[in-house]
Amino acid sequence: MSAIFQHLANALSVGSLYALMAIGYTMVYGVLRLINFAHGEIFMMAMYVVFFGLATFMMPWYISFIVAILITALLGVTAERLAYRPLRDAPRISILISAIAVSYFLQNLATVLFGGRPLTFPQVPLFTSMMNLGGVHISRLLILTPVIAAVLLVGLQYLLKRTKTGMAMRAVARDYDAARLMGIDLNRTIAMTFFIGSALAGVGAIMWGMKYPQIIPTVGAMPGIKCFIAAVLGGIGNVAGAVVGGLVLGMTEILIVAAVPALAGYRDAFAFVLLIIVLLVKPTGLLGEKTTEKV
Amino acid sequence: MLEVNNVTMQFGGLIAVNDLTMFVDYQEIVALIGPNGAGKTTAFNMITGVYRPTSGHIALNKENITGTRPDRIAQRGMARTFQNIRLFKALSVLDNVVIAQHLRLKSNWLTSTLRLPRYNAENRLMYERAEELLTYMGLWDVRGEVSSSLPYGAQRKLEIARALATQPVMLLLDEPAAGMNPAESQELTGLIQGVRDHFKLTILLIEHHMDVVMDISDRIYVLDYGNLIAVGTPAEIQANDAVIQAYLGVEENEA
Amino acid sequence: MAKTAVQPINESRPGKVVSVTLTTILLAALALLLWWMQSAISDVYILKITRLCAINITLALAMNLINGFTGIFSLGHAGFMAVGAYTTALLTIPAKSKEMMFMIAPLIKPLDTLTLPFPVALAAGGLLSALFAYLIGMPCLRLRGDYLAIATLGFSEIIRVLIMNAQRLTNGAMGLRSIPANATMAWTYGVALITIAFMALLTSSSYGRALKAIREDEIAAESMGVSLFSHKMMSFMISAFFAGVGGGLLAAYNGTIGQDMFRVSMTYNILMIVVMGGMGSISGSVISAFVVTIGQEWLRFLDGPLTIGSIHTDGVVGLRMVVFAALLLIIIVFFRNGLFGTNEATWSGLWRSIGRMSGHKKRGEAA
């Protein structure tokens, strides 16, 4: 019984981590129609910043978290400004390649700045100590991760639905030119989208680091790809879809391995199998809208 | 030649074409007209296989082509042009017309790559036919230009040349005179009739320029909100009250 | 108005003869140079890099066929390379070495004792890779744009995960060693030359024109009778074949392989060569393969001790890759068509640009 509970809690927390990062993909895709391949590297940078904040500069954990989230958000905005904005009117493939190049650049930059040797993400007892929940001992993290993710999601929904910035983002996602004609500042709105998406990736990275504490320059690559898959599963461009996709992916990974431990070595392949099944059955994702190309 | 029986196309809750029945006889020129959003292009897309109709049957030369893939329909002899010109933009005028003959190629990819004699012969023939077609359309002198750099009218002509290169028996033209001035559309009228006689073609076209439509059509079908509201010769259509109500009235207001 | 590069129909006979003669002379000169290098240059390192250039030509052209000529953004290259590399390695490593290497579990029969000549092994790697492409293409090639990119990337990762777990076939995480060093100057350049010739002939054939039509406008191509799926599949499988062959060469070049080599970053490396040369340009990919391969090596000085003005560093490992990545980023943002765009380097084009340059000079002298 407690084992089942443990697995479910684990699945939920991994799922909410995926969801946090998938939102960044889905928001950027919404406004730019771009798979931001550098999203995983932004996630990776957040982990390093926390590491140096806590281990080298001895900051209190909350300061280092805030600094990491801010730096990550600014990094996302900078990438957009330097590598994506000049290509906004270019064929979509150019901007996709640019995103790949940014990811490549950040990985190499991390190798030079921080070295290729794995570092260990510092533990913050408030999050990582064990707690007793109805007789079951589990890490606080398993409970806190979904709670933090849920709070952020509610906040994001409020932002998107009720604030001017959020409405501008939705307008840009729906129709670029119309939004521009309505007097929406395109550059500012897109920058804001990157800021929020990257900040959420930063939060995701911190929670991820406490769960899987190894930091290397390529640490963001796999979560990055998986979270894009989560966004596609849910229906790319759709924030609620990203959450659903993240949870579905997290659940699938953890529960399949829990049920059939022999498949543990193939865990990273599940996401892709799931992706291909969904794309073939319902190409627009679970919550996506159908679009027909005009001929 | 072309038979469309009780064809309906539904997008979600919207019925774009409702229970359309029409036919086009051998070497006839038939026009499909109607106000914007009447479902004309949707009808075209069903006939050429881009959309699969929700219900109904379409036959070309007595063969059922309902829901067949566009490339298969093209192989059976149906060629089309597009309302919003879809040339192979970055390629040359000549390449556009040569590519359209690929569907008649018998050599496979390996013998083509290895340039076996049969492929060479086929390839030479493709270029000869392209020269013939481009000369016929008056585009031979610009064969080396990138197709998207041509003036608008020439691009429309090139689309027709490209469609003819597939060696069709039936040609579908989606607003061939769109964006043309009166002199150009006058020339186009002659060109379409010439093409029909020269290549022994059957032609179905969508057109908004009423002078062109009345000039060249043997018969006219009128669509409004997805429904067929009239069929007849140009004279009959011009005298039809329902058409004047639904379409010509609107047209006069616009003009 | 822009003129397109090649027009077979009006290329005059004598012009063609001149072109063919010049190309033959160039190739002969290149062969002589390589032959001379092998005997005259004792620096093994330089010879190694020279061979790597040729392997990268094969790999870049393979990717260019699908990404550049067909306009399908596939990111599965590393997976196909892995299939080719492992096949070639398993078919050429001597039985004794295999026995020693497979410590955790023995290699399955009949591979444990089977060794084949290098060219046969290379071809087998290419064919197996094409077979994988067929299986992967079945679902993936029906997808569009970004979805296809991510799905092919996914399959590439699945191949890697399979390799890691198929202990008795691939030796799992320990990888393969003692791969005979068959990637000689003759083999690497021979294969590169065959690839160049094959790609040039394919892309200028009617099938190549159909692929370009698909790249330009899928809907129009389909309406002109080009079957999208079968043409995409053809392009995808041929691309995978050459990627597999390139992977096999790389295995023989390296001597050791492991699943870690075939991560997505391998695909990105090749993609960068293709983008720099111009997506849809064969000569672009060839020149870019040399530039990128040699450039990466030349930038190696950045990793060593540096003195810039009064600043002195003891050497920062990896700095060259950062500089390299930054250069790539600059190229993509500011020169997104690469060296050649979709055009080819031709002799007549060369004459024209030489003519333009000397024309400039004369005008300059007059003024």
pLDDT in tens, B146-162: 999 999 889 999 999 99
Whether the bond into C119 is cis, omega within 30 of 0: no
Indicate whether C207 belongs to any domain: yes
Could you give the ipTM of this predicted complex?
0.91
On the question of pLDDT at A219 being above 50, the answer is yes
| Strand extents, DSSP E, chain C | 306-308, 311-313
Give the per-residue pLDDT at B75: 96
Which of B 87-106 lie inside 8 A of C, CB atoms? 87-92, 94-95, 98-103, 105
Q: Which residue has the tokens 């804001």?
A: A192
User: B170-218 pLDDT, tens per residue?
Assistant: 999 999 998 888 888 889 999 999 999 999 999 999 998 888 999 999 9
Q: B239: how many CB neighbours lie within 10 A of its CB?
A: 11
Residue contact C332–A101, C-beta within 8 A: yes
Residue in C147, C165, C318 nearest the CB of A232:
C147
State the Cα–Cα distance between residues B148 and B140, nearest whole angstrom.
16
Say which of A83, A268, A295 has its CB closest to residue C219: A295
Tell me, what's the pLDDT at B154? 92
Could you tell me which residues come within 8 angstroms of residue A269 by beta carbon, excluding any fewer than 6 positions away?
Answer: C157, C158, C161, C162
Best CA proximity match to C151, nearest among C265, C248, C72: C72
Would you call C205 and B123 a contact, using CB atoms and an 8 Å cutoff? yes
Structural tokens at position C293: 């391969």
Distance from CA of B11 to the nearest CA of A (A): 9
Which residues does A228 contact at the CB level (< 8 Å), separation at least 6? A22, A25, A35, A39, C150
CA distance C82 to C288: 23
pLDDT more than 70, % of chain B:
96
Positions in chain C short of pLDDT 50: 1-11, 361-367
In B201-230, the residues whose Cβ lies within 8 Å of chain C are: none
Inside any domain, residue A293: no
**Confidence (pLDDT) at C48:** 92
C223 contacts in chain B (CB < 8 Å): 48, 50, 70-71, 74, 79-80, 82
Residue B82 contacts C, CB cutoff 8 Å: yes
**Residue A73 Cα, gap to closest chain B Cα (Å):** 39
Tell me the per-residue pLDDT of C254-274, one tens digit each, with 9 for 90 and over. Answer: 999 999 999 888 998 899 899
Q: Exposed e or buried b for every residue in A37-65, given b needs 16+ CB within 10 A? A: bbbbbbbbbbbbbbbbbbeeeebebeebb
Domain region containing C62: 40-275
Could C217 and B87 be called an inter-chain contact, meaning their C-beta atoms sit closer than 8 Å? yes
A222 to chain B, closest Cα gap in Å: 37
Judged by a CB distance cut-off of 8 A, whether residue C11 touches chain B is: no
Q: Give the pLDDT of residue A116.
A: 81
User: Between A2 and C117, whose confidence is greater?
Assistant: C117
C chain contacts of residue B83, beta-carbon cutoff 8 Å: none
> What 3-state DSSP class applies to A217?
coil
Chain B CB contacts of C198 under 8 Å are 113
pLDDT digits 0-9 by tens, B76-111: 999 999 999 999 999 999 999 999 999 999 999 999
Interchain contact, B127 vs C8, CB within 8 Å:
yes
Q: What local confidence, expressed as pLDDT, does residue C162 receive?
A: 92
Cβ of residue A261 closer than 8 Å to a chain C Cβ? no
Flag whether pLDDT at A171 surpasses 70: yes
pLDDT of residue C365: 43
Chains contacting B (3+ CB pairs below 8 angstroms): A, C
B156 — contact with chain C (CB < 8 Å)?
A: no
A288 assigned to some structural domain: no
Q: Is residue A292 part of a domain?
A: no
Please report the residues numbered 231 through 250 in chain C whose beta carbons come closer than 8 angstroms to any beta carbon of chain B.
Answer: 234, 238
Question: Strand B78-80 relative to strand B29-33: parallel, antiparallel, unpaired?
Answer: unpaired
A259 near B CB under 8 A: no
CA distances from A80 to A69, A193, B121, C269 (A): 17, 10, 53, 22
**For residue C108, which of C178, C162, C179, C167 has the smallest C-alpha distance?**
C167
CA dist C106 and B132 (Å) reads 67
Candidates C150, C264, C333; nearest CB to A229: C150
- Tell me what the mean pLDDT of segment B61-65 comes to: 93
DSSP C204: T
In chain C, residues with a C-beta closer than 8 Å to the C-beta of B95 are 4, 209, 212
Q: Residue C4 has what pLDDT?
A: 45
Using DSSP's 3-state secondary structure scheme, residue A96 falls into helix
C1 chain-B contacts, CB cut-off 8 A: 145-146, 149
Residue C99: inside a domain:
yes
C292: Cβ–Cβ under 8 A, 6 or more apart, which residues? C56, C272, C273, C276
Q: Is B83 on the interface with C (CB under 8 A)?
A: no
Cα separation, B209 vs A167, whole angstroms? 42
B97-125: b or e for each residue (b if 16 or more CB lie within 10 Å)? bbbbbbbbbebebeebbeeeeebeebbee
Number of domains chain A is built from = 1
In a domain, C310, yes or no: no
Residues 58..87 of A with a Cβ closer than 8 Å to C: which?
82-83, 86-87
What is the Cα–Cα distance from A56 to A44, expressed in whole angstroms? 18
Distance of CA B115 to the CA centre of its chain: 34
Pairs across A and B, CB distance < 8 A? 6
Looking at beta carbons, which residues of chain B come within 8 Å of C213? 88, 91, 99, 102
Would you state the pLDDT for residue C187?
95
Report the distance separating Cα B155 and Cα B160, nearest Å.
9
Instruction: Flag if C2 and B126 touch (Cβ within 8 Å).
Output: no
- How close C126 comes to chain A (CA, Å)? 24
DSSP-based three-state secondary structure for A180: helix
Find the distance separating the first CA and the last CA of chain A, reported in whole Å.
57
Q: Residue A35's domain spans which residues?
A: 2-281
By the 8 A CB rule, do C169 and C107 touch?
yes
User: Chain C window 111-140: which residues touch A at a Cβ cutoff of 8 Å?
Assistant: 139-140
DSSP A82: I
Task: Tell me how far apart the alpha carbons of residues B188 and A96 are, in angstroms, rounded to a whole number.
Answer: 42
Domains of chain B with bracketed CATH: 1-77+168-255 (3.40.50.300), 87-167 (no CATH)
Q: Is C192 on the interface with A (CB under 8 A)?
A: no
CA distances to B206, C53, C161, C331 from C295, in Å: 57, 11, 32, 14
The pair of three-digit structure tokens given for residue A174, joined into one six-digit string: 């729906």
Local confidence band at A55 (pLDDT 50, 70, 90 cut-offs): confident
Cα–Cα distance list, B168 to B61, B103, B165, B171, C179 (Å): 12, 11, 8, 7, 57
Rounded Cα gap, residues B48 and B70, in angstroms? 6
Contact A19, A230 (CB under 8 A): yes
Which residues of A are less than 8 Å from B41 in CB distance? 295
Query: What's the confidence (pLDDT) of residue B254?
Result: 42
Residue A291 has pLDDT above 70, yes or no: no
Higher pLDDT, A268 or B198: B198
User: Which chain A positions have a beta carbon within 8 Å of B80's beta carbon?
Assistant: none
Both tokens of C63, joined, read: 């990717």
Q: Concatenate the DSSP letters of all residues of chain B into one string.
A: -EEEEEEEEEETTEEEEEEEEEEE-TT-EEEEE-STTSSHHHHHHHHTTSS--SEEEEEETTEE-TT--HHHHHHTTEEE--SS----TTSBHHHHHHHTTGGG--S-HHHHHTT-HHHHHHHHHHHHHHHHHHHHHT-GGGTTBBGGGS-HHHHHHHHHHHHHHT--SEEEEESTTTT--HHHHHHHHHHHHHHHHHHT-EEEEE---HHHHHHH-SEEEEEETTEEEEEE-HHHHHH-HHHIIIIIHHHHHH-
How much is the pLDDT for C353?
A: 75
Is residue B255's pLDDT more than 50?
no
pLDDT at site C5: 44
pLDDT for C143 equals 84
pLDDT of residue C322: 87
- Cβ contacts (< 8 Å) between C268 and chain A: which residues? 100, 103-104
The secondary element (H helix, E strand) that includes residue A88 is: none
- Of C32 and B131, which is predicted with more confidence? B131
Specify the number of domains making up chain C: 1
A108 inside 8 A of chain C by CB: yes
Q: Average pLDDT in the A103-129 region?
A: 87
Interacting residues of A280 by C-beta distance below 8 A, sequence separation 6+: C139, C142
pLDDT in tens, A11-39: 999 999 999 889 988 888 888 888 898 99
Cβ within 8 Å, pair B45-A292: no
**Is C321 in CB contact (< 8 Å) with chain A?**
yes
SS3 A214: strand
d(CA C306, CA B2): 77
Interchain CB contact of B131 with C (< 8 Å): yes
Tell me whether residue A294 is in a domain.
no
pLDDT above 60: residue B117: yes
Asked if residue B59 has pLDDT above 60, the reply is: yes
- Is A292 part of the contact surface with chain B (CB cutoff 8 Å)? yes
What is the CATH classification number for the domain harbouring A104?
1.10.3470
Q: Say whether A182 sits in a helix, a strand or coil.
A: coil
A130-133 and A136-139 strand pairing? antiparallel
- Per-residue model confidence (pLDDT) at position C255: 95
Distance CA A183, CA A180 (A): 5
DSSP one-letter code for C343: -
Scanning C168-227 for CB atoms below 8 A from B yields 198, 201-202, 205-207, 209-210, 212-213, 216-217, 219-227
Out of B75, B86, B149, name the one closest to residue C217 (CB). B86
Highest mean pLDDT: which range of A136-145, A154-163, B167-176, C2-11? B167-176
The amino acid sitting at C66 is I
